[in-house]
Amino acid sequence: MSTIHVLERQTWSPAWSSHYPQHQRWYELCDLFGMYMVDEANIETHGFFDYPNYKHPTQESCWAASMLDRVVGMVERDKNHACIIVWSIGNEASYGPNHAALSGWVREKDASRLVHYEGGGSRTSSTDIVCPMYARVSQIVEIAKDPTEQRPVILCEYSHAMGNSNGNLHTYWEAIDSIFGLQGGFIWDWADQGLLKEVCGKMRWAYGGDFGDTPNDLNFCLNGVIFPDRSPHPALHEVKFLYQPIKVSFNEGIIKITNMHFFDTTQALEFNWVLHGDGCELGSGILPLLVIEAQRSHETKWESGPWFSAWTSSSAAEIYLTITAKLLNSTRWANSGHLISSTQVLLPSRRNVVPHIIKSTDATLLCEVVDDIIKVGQKDWWELKFNKQTGGIEGWKVNGVSIMNKGIYPCFWRAPTDNDKGGGPLSYLSRWKAANLDKVIFVNESCSVESTNSHEVKISATYHGIAKPEEKTPSNAGTSNILFKVGMALLIYGSGDVVLECNVNPCPDLPPLPRVGVEFQLDSTVDQVKWYGRGPFECYPDRKSAAHLSIYELSVGEMHVPYVVPGECSGRADVRWVTFENKDGVGLYASTYGESPPMQMNASYYSTSELDRTTHNEDLRKSENIEVHLDHKHMGLGGDDSWSPCVHDEYLVPPVPYSFAIRLFPKTAATTGYDIYKSQFSEE
């Protein structure tokens, strides 16, 4: 029952009984709740693919009766369940005369339902659906546009949900929603299939090999959009958004609301709107609409909407309108007020707001240089300590409180995800390791201090990123293996502003990079994170459609996503600004600066190396500090499958020069991140 409820609440109507018929009670519940089911016969001979000299049973007449017995048993048992709309005659069992016989028997027995079978290239005469498995977007588009093909295209498996995955899903649905003949697909799969096991007095999710079992498939059973305890992966939000039955668009001044349902009107829904300016709520209310019939749309000029008065009074640089649809009344599967759909669109801004250059103030900077240590700050407010030898910050205090303990250094590595590992020697991880990206250390080649006056200080450092030598120290490692040349400058102003300018030059022979950004270590007490960007849940460049832009606040612990097998996680996309604060509101502000685009942001108690080291979330060890990443570029997650490198080209990070700037500011309890952010802009 809980599975049915979760599926319905995500507006998922179809489900696949892969790869064998299910318990009768499941079908009864699907009948009751109006689910669409693909019932699949227990016929799979996957193992034969490893032995090409042996024929699959479907090609052997001696197996025909046994295969037919399984299909007949399924159809005769389940034929009276209204939920079943498709009979599947097996999975990954090659193709041959026996399957042709199975489809013939089913069609003669039950002409009211479709027959499915993917084997043999997904387009044989034994299937009524073109049903490719893990086909790419370009491939399904090509099939749908084939004038000789009249059957619908439905992916029987796609978007492999292994760990931090399901990137690129929006590209599938852009095609599905716009091209006739493309009707959707079935994500593989629903739930991580981990088992609880007690280890050293603590419970954990166990998988292949954790029980002393050999051979095993390790964590290949962990590929769902929900955890084993049925709590959601962040990717589930993306799936719900792309599947939502109410679509909202804004083009050429027209707000268009479309009811994608084929049978239901919007009579059971209540529509609401909320307007945000630079992340702050400007207004909200009920959106009065006439009932929208199935497969129909309602259009209105955006200036005539109830949000227009709030828009006219705003001077925000970015104004977003969010339209939601919620249940008016409780149903079998959800209470009244349950969110059915939510879409955010960008409205025009009333003013041209452009970044301005920070200028010196009359505030005097205190600058002290003792040997290799540079201290810059303002009495009783903040103090920054920089080490010329390492080229990094050794400490940053605000109101006498330690905020940053170490930083700011370039970073190009991430803890590998399951998708990063897929593909053997061609995988991203294999290529990264072959290029020694997992061993890069940064050597300070030069550091200079320029104190132009008592109101400005500039500290410049040049780093060489080299592969960490096995038995040599960085000082005698040489320069023959330089992978990155990075120039970083700190421009420190009397206003308290610190502008970090970064110029990155990677070796052009490197593979696509995991990330391009900076990292630093915050004190563990600075554990409250507030940001203006996408959220509130984890999101990445190729999986962020569902994550609306707003101002969110979470603790560092709450940001962590406990994937059963740790890896890169907890990121937030398109971050304009972020503050890291302690319980007293003292901390650090960071934002993009100048023409730099929004950042990918991450804050975690677990270092990148720790996330890479462990194989179970329960084994992660918290570090003494909080590791923060602010990325100018971050590679996508991928997810078309998990056994080949398939991040789409537009979400790769090529090894080319990059330049970006970040504004930092010492935050006190008297200031907010929003106020600091607004001070960065001027109106034309």
Which residues, 6+ apart, have CB-to-CB distance to 577 below 8 Å? Answer: 531, 532, 533, 589, 590, 591, 592, 673, 674, 676, 677
Neighbours of 318 (CB within 10 A): 15
Three-state secondary-structure class, residue 117 = coil
> Hey, what amino acid is at 251?
N
Roughly what angle, to the nearest 10 degrees, separates helices 97-109 and 64-78?
Answer: 30
Q: Are 345 and 302 in contact (CB under 8 A)?
A: no
The DSSP code sequence of 281-347 is EEEEEE---PPPPTT-EEEEEGGGSTTHHHHHT---S-EEEEEEEEESS--SS--TT-EEEEEEEEE
Phi and psi at residue 6, in whole multiples of 5°? -65, -45
Query: What is the DSSP-derived secondary structure letter of residue 348?
Result: P
User: Nearest to residue 190, comparing CAs of 35, 86, 421?
Assistant: 35
Phi and psi at residue 477, in whole multiples of 5°? -75, -20
* CA–CA gap between residue 565 and residue 59 (Å, rounded): 40
User: Nearest to residue 501, comparing CAs of 451, 530, 455, 462?
Assistant: 462
Token pair 């975690």 in the structure block, residue: 604
Three-state secondary-structure class, residue 439 = helix
Query: What is the DSSP-derived secondary structure letter of residue 476?
Result: G
The DSSP code sequence of 511-571 is ---SEEEEEEEEETT--EEEEEEEESS--BTTB-TT-EEEEEEEEHHHH----SS--S---
* CA–CA gap between residue 91 and residue 127 (Å, rounded): 12
Q: Are 425 and 417 in contact (CB under 8 A)?
A: no
> Hey, what amino acid is at 288?
P
Report the phi/psi class of residue 144: left, alpha or beta, with left for phi > 0 and alpha for psi in -120 to 50: alpha
* Total H helices, total E strands in the chain: 13, 35
Strands (E), 454-512: 456-467, 482-493, 498-506
User: Nearest to residue 440, comparing CAs of 371, 516, 551, 373?
Assistant: 516
Q: Are 10 and 187 in contact (CB under 8 A)?
A: no
> What amino acid positions are annotated as catalytic residues?
92, 157
